[in-house]
Structure 1
Amino acid sequence: MEKRRVVITGMGAVTPLGLNLADSWAAVKRGECGIGPITLYDPAGQKVSLAAEVKNFDPTAFLDKKEARKLDRCVQFALSAADQAVASAGLLMEQEDAGRCAVFFASGIGGFTTIQAECLKGAEKGYDRVSPFFIPMVIANMAAGNIAIRHGFGGMCTCPVTACASGTNAVGDAFRHIRDGYAEVALAGGTEASITPLAMGGFTSLHALHTGDDPACASVPFDARRSGFVMGEGAGALLLEEYEHAVRRGATILAEVAGYGVSCDAHHITAPLPDGSGAARAMTLALADGGVSPEQVGYINAHGTSTPLNDAGETAAVKLAFGEHAAKLAVSSTKSMTGHLLGAAGAVEAAFTAMALREDFLPATIHYEQPDPACDLDVVPNTGRMARVQYAMSNSLGFGGHNASILLKKWED
């Protein structure tokens, strides 16, 4: 079967930098930091006091108040991002075959805000008193399900759960689904809202989170000072379409999805392979899938979590996958600005990568001060730069050894 071309025609985002993609991307271009003191709960008595929260989010701006109460914060984020993507694409469902419209929307953890609240309620009042909406509020697939219901997408509806690779897997799986002829349209993305005392305590016990109190020193990917990631929250959504379908309805094409690669380290539940070979395999597969040589890629939006093992391992992976060209690649981490959005990270970063191609602008790795010989790539330190790039890659690497890379191509009419 001939493989069909797949393009991006709409995008949306809710991030620590803004409530929509336009505001979030403008903040990325300015090099703003979305990290600050935790306000969603009182962190006194816990080691971690910083997070990258979504600010001033009001679900009743787009949801009925009664409906909003039945949805976890992560699902609210997802619906907002999906609404933005559909609106920006100008998609009219009355003109579509709903059975050929799919949803691939991920979450690494699901409704953690609700889990925390209802567990406390159950312990205090008895577990038969928990909300009747508890289960549909917490299971990870409910963002996907609610998006399908809201927009009338009647095709395949699924939720990849691969930890921090979830969002990229969602976009990549949607790409394959359309390319191989199973749908014309797919809403793809990821969402997460896990800034709660329990989630933060769990990641703290893993020694995964930064424990300082200065936002400028907290999320510092590839820097020798890095000591753990900063928890973020939010959602990203991309509307993918088969190319001919997009052309027929006169859609504005933002970028093309050129390739997708996945692999598993099969090594350790939290630590990546030190030599980067697993992540390198995902990148190499994405290049091969798109029929693209390493030298054609000009930018990578790295997973870049600001943890000692990840950043060194990802640097090794880029060198394995790209060979001598690695020294010429721009490889930055927007997590320096957004923190780590877990299951939403890959989707938001895919949108940022598409915008980088569209606007010929490479985002910076902000707050970069102390180079690390183990991370000796061009990390676009501190200030973004104008650069015309034809192909760009976005990487996501998750607990469990999950690796995912998507390859995007600049759209030129």
Structure 2
Amino acid sequence: GDVASNDTLLPWIGSGFRSLGAASIAANVADAALPFDTRRNGMLLGSGAVGLVLEAAGASTIQRFPSGTPSVSLVASQLSNSAFHGASLDKEHMAQELNRFLQAVESEHGIPRAALAAEGVYYSHETCTQASPTTSCSFTELYMLRSAFGDAGLDTLVLANTKAFTGHAMGVSFEEVIAVEGLKRGLLPPVVNFASHDEHLSPRPLRLSQGGAYPHVKYALRFAAGFGSQIAFTLYMRK
């Protein structure tokens, strides 16, 4: 992905996001990195690189970790395009695609969505963009989740966000590595700087991660979005 926050690209990419009304100009991080909060005022740009090595089950005879160490498997992934808009998200298509993904997970792997809601964490795409009632990133994601899990599922599903720590990188999903390491260690990152519940997202308080130990979390569901209506889902499971 682009190193959007370097000296060369930031004036161009930063100005582009600002012209869209998507970039925060708050003077400090605590006033800018506000996932799911009513005070959302725009995202922070970030950059970096991550990688995961995938290995087929049984492909190696080498004991890589001490016996009994938790391992994590990639259960399923799905990539699609809404053909909707260059920068905005189509909540209806997102909901349709998440339901399709969860149906495939249940039919192919025997994992019902009720188990994901009860024993799972959702790593959001939430970019902290403006807190508009019906078009913000967090609103479209909550609409999608409610369509798939219902209000009861949202009461138990833990919501996590890491862009408040890393910024929004272009073409880099830090959340994938964080999801895998979190499952291995039984830990989740906190949703930082949260102070004010947004009733446009949910009439009831969301179950936002407080950080620290979450030993009951066995699954990590990740949603990512990209320019040009790209949307992707991955599901990880601790063994």
Partner residue of 1:251?
Answer: 64
Structure with more contact order per residue of length (Cα contacts < 8 Å, sep ≥ 6): 2
Structure 1: gaps (5+ residues): 1-106, 117-193
In the alignment, residue 306 of structure 1 is paired with which amino acid?
C
For 1:4-403, list aligned pairs within 5 A.
107=1, 109=2, 116=8, 194=9, 196-246=10-60, 248-252=61-65, 254-273=71-90, 276-291=91-106, 292-297=111-116, 298-307=120-129, 308=131, 309-323=136-150, 324-344=152-172, 346=173, 348-376=174-202, 377-380=206-209, 383-387=210-214, 388-403=216-231
Q: How far did residue 315 of structure 1 move?
A: 0.9
Q: How far did residue 110 of structure 1 move?
A: 7.0
Contact 1:265 1:278 (8 Å CA) reproduced: yes
Q: Which has the higher helix share?
A: 1
Contact 1:278 1:403 (8 Å CA) reproduced: no
Deviations 1:335-384 (A, max 9, x none): 1211111211x2x101111122111122211000111012233122xx31
Alignment partners' CA distance in 1, 2:94 and 2:55: 27
Alignment partners' CA distance in 1, 2:4 and 2:123: 27
Residues 221-230 or 197-206, more deviating: 197-206
Alignment partners' CA distance in 1, 2:52 and 2:105: 19
In the alignment, residue 180 of structure 2 is paired with which amino acid?
A
Q: How far did residue 211 of structure 1 move?
A: 1.0
CA gap 1:363/1:317 in 2 versus in 1, 3 angstroms = same
Partner residue of 1:60?
Answer: none
Q: Secondary structure at the match of 2:159?
A: strand
Alignment partners' CA distance in 1, 2:4 and 2:36: 31
Question: Percent identity at matched positions?
Answer: 25
CA gap 1:216/1:328 in 2 versus in 1, 3 angstroms = same
Report the count of equivalent residues: 218
Q: TM-score, normalised by structure 1?
A: 0.50
Q: How far did residue 328 of structure 1 move?
A: 1.2
Contact 1:271 1:401 (8 Å CA) reproduced: yes
Structure 1 or 2, whichever has the larger Rg, is: 1
Structure 2: gaps (5+ residues): none
Partner residue of 1:142?
Answer: none
Contact 2:3 2:48 (8 Å CA) reproduced: no
Deviations 1:60-113 (A, max 9, x none): xxxxxxxxxxxxxxxxxxxxxxxxxxxxxxxxxxxxxxxxxxxxxxx2x47996
Q: How far did residue 405 of structure 1 move?
A: 0.8
Q: TM-score, normalised by structure 2?
A: 0.83
Deviations 1:164-205 (A, max 9, x none): xxxxxxxxxxxxxxxxxxxxxxxxxxxxxx5x2222122212
Residues 218-227 or 196-205, more deviating: 196-205
Contact 1:263 1:278 (8 Å CA) reproduced: no
Q: Secondary structure at the match of 2:225?
A: strand
Contact 1:260 1:289 (8 Å CA) reproduced: no
